[in-house]
Structure 1
Amino acid sequence: MIISRAMKLIRILMLCLSVQGLSLSAQMYIFPTAYGPSDKYQVIDTARYEITYQINAKLNPNPKYSFVAYEDVQTLLIGKNVSATYSRDILKAREEADEELRKRAQSVEGFYDITFPEDVFKGYPKPGELTSSYRLFLSAGYGQYTEVLPSFKWQILSESKEILGYKCQKAQGEFRGRKYIAWFTSDIPHSDGPWKFCGLPGLILAVEDTDKYFVFTCIDIKNNQSQPIRFWTYPHIKSSREKLRTIIQRMHKQPIVFCEQALGEKIYMGNTNKNRDFSFLWLWLEVE
């Protein structure tokens, strides 16, 4: 059945609080898991390449809590002028749910997996820029900002290896507090990659930070595609990266209070109001 916003939020928060002694839940479903309506978009380019990456991410730097992690699958669509990266499975689930609702279904299946919360559109709204769309908790909406394409200060090294049949060369770089190792192939001459990664003379097929908190590995490459690159037009909170970062930090520091403000409803754990002040660590790619 369709779960009300308040009931869904309580269910999610209870899963988090059930292992509060560990600071984080291994099943931290409070993470952003929803897209807006899948028919609210504008086509901004046509993709020739569809690249799929496996994401392995850790949420707690303490080795004791190494199990606090998640996996996701990310799609990179590369067009003539614009590329887009997004979480594949959550978008698929949203499209399927919208289709069922269009058929007047009385209920739709929910999506509760943890997903990578940020979509990135490189080359949009104009060359040399990117637009980021960040899914906030539950009904809090979507934050969005535009900035110049980042510089990772790449140094190309002599080492090479093969990934999915493509010869790749090693590079090292750094960006906003993290150092990265990347493997790129000149056989696909697009200076692109998952998330915000770019700036090498070829497509990045694998990249990870040196602490291995975030690992992106290409698992599939399709070329000669002809599919639209969609930019979502449902409401976003327009902001700067710095202001959105402040919102995200507050969201993780006081998730119950944050979600109450978003829902306009009080949240209670059964008949108690305890554990309202719990927080969990926000481990993100951009340290700075």
Structure 2
Amino acid sequence: MLAQTNDYKITYKRFEGNHKRDAVLYVKENQPTVMQTIMASTVPIKVLKDTTYINENGATVMKGFSGSTDYSKFPDEYIKVDHLQNKIEMIKDIHKKNFLVTDELNYTWQITNETKKIKDYTCYKATTTFRGNTFEAWFTPDIPINAGPWKWYGLPGLIVEATDKDQSVVFKLEKIEKLTEEIPFPSSKSKKMTLKQYFKEADEAFEAMFASNDRNTTTTVKTLGRFGLERVYEWEEEPKK
């Protein structure tokens, strides 16, 4: 059991596809939480056909059709969650240019009686649905703070494990430390836009890129967000009759 404090640095392992990486949640009393996904920490869960390896600098590299990918050169991802206002800010990029993207979520958890032990914490299962997906979280009242990885919050205890119905992305608690540093969130010089505006600009940028590669082809592109944890956004839903 941790000493009584409301300031934490919480490290999760984020499992996605064939890779895992560190995702660090910064929690400070009376402030929005921030999750930083550290791209340089990416490692393969297993080697597929000898295409993924660790180079001499300790960076994870994957050989593909377009050459090698060095994850240490990818920008870290940031999500700031203000659970009191139901407001979210994210640092997202389009062609290596960062934007401050705002989002709002309002969802309700269903807490079950199902329990299990995770790292000596008694955890309870909760489920919720939003944006075309169903989510499962395990939280512990042993750490009575309203926080969790990604955009999840709103439970009477820290979320220590969470995923979606397909387990396309899985977060698992790695360690909890006392917060002794400033919370990182590099947004001061980034252009601000809504999530809907971001996807519109990202789609247009990708369409322009494909069009420049093949002037005889018209391509409609949807960004990867539609295939991650969020499948259908509010503005994409069919109007109710």
Q: TM-score, normalised by structure 1?
A: 0.59
Tell whether 2:41 aligns with 1:87.
Answer: no
CA offsets, 1:209-253, max 9 Å, x none?
Answer: 01111111111111x3221112214532311111112233445x5
CA 181–255 in structure 1, closer or farther in 2 if over 3 Å, else same:
farther
Higher share in strand = 2
Q: How does 1:165-176 map to 2 (within 5 A)?
A: 165-176=120-131
The structure 2 residue matched to 1:71, chosen from 9, 17, 20, is: 20
2:200 aligned counterpart, secondary structure: helix
How many aligned positions are there? 199
2:91 matched residue in structure 1: 133
Unaligned runs of 5+ in 1: 1-46, 59-68, 92-108, 261-266
CA 249–276 in structure 1, closer or farther in 2 if over 3 Å, else same:
closer
Let me know the Cα RMSD of the aligned residues: 3.5
CA 227–151 in structure 1, closer or farther in 2 if over 3 Å, else same:
same
1:55 matched residue in structure 2: 14
Larger relative CO (CA 8 A, sep 6+): 1 or 2? Answer: 1
Unaligned runs of 5+ in 2: 1-5, 42-58, 62-68, 234-241
AA partner of residue 145 (structure 1): V
Q: How does 1:51-200 map to 2 (within 5 A)?
A: 51-58=10-17, 69-80=18-29, 81-90=31-40, 112-113=70-71, 118-123=77-82, 127-137=85-95, 139=96, 141-148=97-104, 150-200=105-155
CA offsets, 1:37-56, max 9 Å, x none?
Answer: xxxxxxxxxx8201111112
Higher share in helix = 1
CA offsets, 1:92-151, max 9 Å, x none?
Answer: xxxxxxxxxxxxxxxxx9982287974111229x854221111334x3x11222234x23
2:7 aligned counterpart, secondary structure: strand
For residues 112 and 274 of structure 1, the distance between their equivalents in structure 2, rounded to whole angstroms, comes to 33
Q: How does 1:18-37 map to 2 (within 5 A)?
A: none
AA partner of residue 76 (structure 1): L
CA 243–159 in structure 1, closer or farther in 2 if over 3 Å, else same:
same
For residues 221 and 85 of structure 2, the distance between their equivalents in structure 1, rounded to whole angstroms, comes to 39
For residues 147 and 12 of structure 2, the distance between their equivalents in structure 1, rounded to whole angstroms, comes to 13
Q: TM-score, normalised by structure 2?
A: 0.69
